[in-house]
A = this chain, B = another copy of it.
Amino acid sequence: MQKSIRKLVKLTLIAILVSAQCWGQGQGGHPASTNIPSAEFPRINSDNSVTFRVQAQQAQTVQLSLGFGQSTYDMVKGTDGYWEVTTKPLAPGFYYYGISADGFIANDPGSRVFFAAQKEVSGLEVPGAESDFFAVKNIPHGTLRTEWYLSKTTGEARRIFVYTPPGYDQSSSRYPVLYLQHGLGEDEAGWGDQGHENFILDNLIATNKAKPMIVVNDNGMAGVHFVPPPAPKPGSPPSSGSIVRFFMDERYATFDKIVTEDLIPFIDHNYRTIPNRNHRALAGLSMGGAQAMRIGLSHLDQFAFIGALSPAIAITDLNKDYDGILADSAKVNQRLRLLWLGIGSDDFLFAPVKQSHEMLEKAGIKHVWVQSSGAHVWTVWRKYLLDFAPRLFQ
């Protein structure tokens, strides 16, 4: 039995469970909602500063990096071998962060992770009054379905997420569909995991602010022919303009084919959709916004609603961009029932997107223009969905 005991103790499961419950005792604040169950750190303090705590017994230097290097904090080693730091007060919202221990950059064992920057990254939710619109309330909830479908374009089974509104299974109604895409380095899980699209829609539908709709998320990184721009070389940093132009000019040929020839037919076949352009929207954030513009404007026969949330676009030439379709404002205005464009004032894409808005104005292309506060972050994109979804299918 000795061997069994050793194995059992090795698991350390119970020790972890119980000790985790003791860490935070006597501390102020409360664990973040993004913590793993029973983890007492990170803790949100009453002034919205956040205290992080990790174990790194032999490390010489431990740092907290918030938002991919937006701000870095040196952590301080306590007598108990734990490193700790308290940030300045943080604005309510969602933050990615990482821990670096002697140059090893990884996640915080106390937090849930989210897929971003092509890896699993710790997430932190700082709550506030404005968290209410995506809170889990005691109302009917829709379902977020994980589906696998065969793409003829790529020959592979692709994972998608499909939100069906409350009552979908009990109803025989047909519904409009919003195809909603993530950004570069994230994946099809982003709008559910980071964005809380399902709770935003649940809350909007329960208060009759949005039409009940189906929402579909696929993976926009798709396609053997999609190659992101080359990495910046030392000594020759790329201009943000050229990179944004890449994302705008890219035809996303494989992803276009996946969406229009594989995904939409699959959804229309397997869900009770209203399968026409007046009941189909395409939207996305960042790279996904560039895709929504590129694919949407190429298929006005299929989409009457386009949403570009902090998109990686830089419209400069109405006669060339998007094959010149913007020069025919009468046609675009007649076909599109909504073109939604939004960007935050602290977003690194602010300048090219603002310029794109001005070009659309100049061309006489009708669109909703939202110039908000905020940066290139989920905190902003959730609010954009809150603004965008109620305008759909009206």
Taking the closest CB of chain B, its distance from the CB of A218, in whole angstroms, is 14
Q: Which residues of chain B are near A106, meaning CB under 8 Å?
A: 99, 101, 104, 106-109
A23 at the binding interface (Cβ < 8 Å): no
Interface members, chain A 14-32 (any B CB < 8 Å): 14-20
| Contact between chains at B348 and A8 (CB < 8 Å) | yes
Q: What 0/1 readout, one digit per residue, does chain A (231-253) give for beta carbons within 8 Å of chain B?
A: 11000011111010000000000
Across the interface, A138 reaches (CB within 8 A) one of B57, B137, B150, B187, namely B150
Across the interface, A14 reaches (CB within 8 A) one of B5, B56, B229, namely B229
Q: Which residues of chain B are near A12, meaning CB under 8 Å?
A: 68-69, 117
| Contact between chains at A117 and B13 (CB < 8 Å) | yes
| Contact between chains at A118 and B37 (CB < 8 Å) | yes
Bin the interface of chain A by size. Answer: 35 or more
A5, A16, A106 interface centre (most CB from chain B within 10 Å) = A106
Across the interface, A157 reaches (CB within 8 A) one of B7, B9, B141, namely B141
A46 at the binding interface (Cβ < 8 Å): no
How many copies altogether? Answer: 2
Q: A101-B102, A102-B60, A270-B169 are in contact. Are A113 and B117 (CB under 8 A)?
A: no
| Contact between chains at B61 and A58 (CB < 8 Å) | yes
A369 at the binding interface (Cβ < 8 Å): no
A371 at the binding interface (Cβ < 8 Å): no
A136 at the binding interface (Cβ < 8 Å): yes
Taking the closest CB of chain B, its distance from the CB of A77, in whole angstroms, is 11
Q: What 0/1 readout, one digit per residue, does chain A (263-297) give for beta carbons within 8 Å of chain B?
A: 00000001100000000000000000000000000
A224 at the binding interface (Cβ < 8 Å): no
Interface members, chain A 35-73 (any B CB < 8 Å): 36-39, 54-62, 68-70
Q: Which residues of chain B are near A11, meaning CB under 8 Å?
A: 68, 117
Q: Which residues of chain B are near A102, meaning CB under 8 Å?
A: 56-60, 101-102, 104
Q: A37-B118, A157-B136 are in contact. Are A55 and B237 (CB under 8 A)?
A: no
- Bound complex: CA A115 to CA B107 (Å): 13
- Bound complex: CA A147 to CA B202 (Å): 12
Q: A11-B68, A270-B169 are in contact. Are A348 and B150 (CB under 8 A)?
A: no
- Bound complex: CA A157 to CA B39 (Å): 20
A1 at the binding interface (Cβ < 8 Å): yes
- Bound complex: CA A102 to CA B9 (Å): 22
- Provide 24 A-B residue pairs closer than 8 Å at the C-beta atoms, listed in order of the A residue: A1-B239, A1-B240, A5-B239, A10-B70, A14-B184, A14-B231, A15-B232, A16-B118, A17-B231, A18-B231, A20-B118, A56-B101, A57-B102, A59-B103, A99-B106, A104-B104, A106-B109, A110-B119, A137-B157, A141-B148, A144-B145, A144-B146, A146-B146, A146-B192
